Amino acid sequence: MGRLFGTDGVRGIANEFLTCERAMQIGRAAAMVLTGVRRRRTPVVLIGMDTRISSGMLASAIAAGLCSVGADVIDIGVVPTPAVAYLVGKYKADAGIMISASHNPAHFNGIKIFNEDGYKLPDELEERIESIVLDNQPIPALQFGDGIGQITRCTNAAKDYIERLRSTVLYSLDGLKIAVDCANGSASVTAEKLFEELGAEYHILFNKPDGININKNCGSTHMEYLRNYVLEHQLDAGVAFDGDADRCLCVDDKGNIIDGDMIMAITALDMRARGKLINNTVVGTIMTNLGFTKFCEDQDIRFVATKVGDRYVLEEMLLEDYYFGGEQSGHIIFREFSTTGDGQLTAIQLLSHLRRSGKKLSELASVMVRYPQISVNVNASSEAKLAYYTDPDIKDALEKAKTTLGKSGRLVVRPSGTEPLIRVMVEGEDNALIESVANNIAELIRQKLSDL
């Protein structure tokens, strides 16, 4: 993790860590690093945002920073994050910026930056932006008169993005009965139109954002309501997005949660059957469930694991020419169609397979058996996250825990790149054992790092 950027952009509490001043500085730095403001033509940057109360404020601050050094801004309003990634290319912009804190509560916000090809930035470019913002490195000269950039507003962005999504599905979803949880976030402006045009019988939930209800007891991090709704209304499936709609998790016809790993298992088999699983490989992360690894072994599919973060998954895909990958959290990348994780794209690809197969989603999901997994989050400051790596007692406890779990279990402890947390994840065949190990490690971390 960098000093500003985590695993998915800059993120923090709005007006505390992520102030207007910092947002303006990031805008100026991004203009220097990404657009080359000294080109002959005026550089253009797209800015989209989610539905948080602070998103408009921060978008305005970043736009001001960009315009102050001579870049033009196209304000595309409330859209999903993957819409920004796609529209950068369609609108021939030099970069795209999304204001969102994804699955985090409303008081957080964040800044995700895409290059001219719609890809999230590599570490090197993020470090250059950090250096400009934090180390007082030179920024582009402020412009005056007709050198100042202008802001224009685009009203077709959501429509253009929906058309792109529709083009990826060759068959209608006619006959499917589904519930769609928009998390009171970005999907609120796109999901209903998308599923209407695809012909599904849909029930739209949590699509009334008020600035503070994004992700609140809804969306992909709170699946209880959707699960009960699917069962009560006897639907074929439910799909849930997060605040910026780059994640998708599902509920099957029996009320079981279908996470990102299971979505990948179902989809990988479908892609292989259609000749679309290039190099017979799926890319996941170190957090991918052991059950998915076993599924890949049984199906003779190659599995490659990366660091946590869909941008690392994509980097591996680009490096080795793989076309499918994702995360347990629901960031799924279909490289044939997108340059980043896309929740609505994932939903319609999965539902299209469901429609074509004529099977129940619960039947499709039976191809993978998920290993029991326990996750415990420990609150941790930035200082505590750094101390975690060097504390000898924690290191010793982790080694002993791994020995206890043996080959039938797995322990992953990592500082979060998006929240002030250290995440402890343990999985294995013995529920009681993994719960004990997870709680003991989490409690030790609390004791050792609580004063930092």
Name which residue leads in pLDDT, 141 or 118: 118
* Residue 139 counted as domain residue: yes
Do residue 114 and residue 10 come from a single domain? yes
Please return the burial class of 404, using the count of CB atoms within 10 Å of its CB with bins 0-12, 13-18 and 19+. Answer: middle
pLDDT at 436: 92
Do residue 90 and residue 131 come from a single domain? yes
CA dist 385 and 381 (Å) reads 6
Average of per-residue pLDDT values in the chain: 94
Cα atoms in the Cβ-side hemisphere of radius 13 Å centred on 9: 24
pLDDT at 407: 79
Over range 395-400, report the average pLDDT.
93
* Residue 225 counted as domain residue: yes
pLDDT at 40: 52
* Residue 357 counted as domain residue: yes
Query: Which of 312, 334, 365 delimits the end of a domain?
Result: 365
Read off the CATH number of the domain in which 63 is found: 3.40.120.10
pLDDT at 201: 97
Tell whether the model's pLDDT for residue 38 goes beyond 60.
no
Q: What is the DSSP string of 338-366?
A: -SS--HHHHHHHHHHHHHHH-S-HHHHHT
Do residue 130 and residue 243 come from a single domain? no
* Residue 290 counted as domain residue: yes
Query: Which of 112, 135, 156 delimits the end of a domain?
Result: 156
CA distances from 212 to 45, 171, 208, 295, 421 (A): 27, 37, 11, 40, 22
Do residue 149 and residue 237 come from a single domain? no
Do residue 299 and residue 224 come from a single domain? yes
Query: Which of 344, 365, 386 delimits the end of a domain?
Result: 365
* Residue 161 counted as domain residue: no
Residue 361's domain comprises 168-365
pLDDT in tens, 333-384: 999 999 999 999 999 999 999 999 999 999 999 999 999 989 899 999 988 9
Catalytic residues: 102
pLDDT in tens, 191-231: 999 999 999 999 999 999 999 999 999 999 999 999 999 99
* Residue 163 counted as domain residue: no
DSSP secondary structure code for residue 94 in this structure:
S
Do residue 85 and residue 104 come from a single domain? yes
Do residue 209 and residue 341 come from a single domain? yes
- Where residue 2 falls among pLDDT bands split at 50, 70, 90? low
Read off the CATH number of the domain in which 421 is found: 3.30.310.50
CA dist 9 and 147 (Å) reads 29
Span of 59-68, 239-248, 265-274, 414-423 with lowest mean pLDDT: 414-423
- Where residue 161 falls among pLDDT bands split at 50, 70, 90? very high
Number of domains present in the structure of the chain: 3
Provide Rg for the chain, Cα atoms.
22
CA dist 46 and 94 (Å) reads 8
Do residue 152 and residue 184 come from a single domain? no
* Residue 264 counted as domain residue: yes
Do residue 280 and residue 339 come from a single domain? yes
Do residue 76 and residue 46 come from a single domain? yes
Task: Output the CA angle 124-10-441, nearest 5 degrees.
Answer: 95
* Residue 180 counted as domain residue: yes
Over range 18-30, report the average pLDDT.
95
CA dist 197 and 192 (Å) reads 9
- Where residue 451 falls among pLDDT bands split at 50, 70, 90? confident
Do residue 346 and residue 380 come from a single domain? no
Do residue 390 and residue 293 come from a single domain? no
pTM over 0.85: yes
Task: Output the CA angle 278-280-285, nearest 5 degrees.
Answer: 100
CA distances from 158 to 60, 79, 102, 281, 294 (A): 20, 6, 18, 32, 39
Cβ partners under 8 Å of residue 363, min gap 6: none
β-pairing verdict for 281-285 and 302-306: parallel
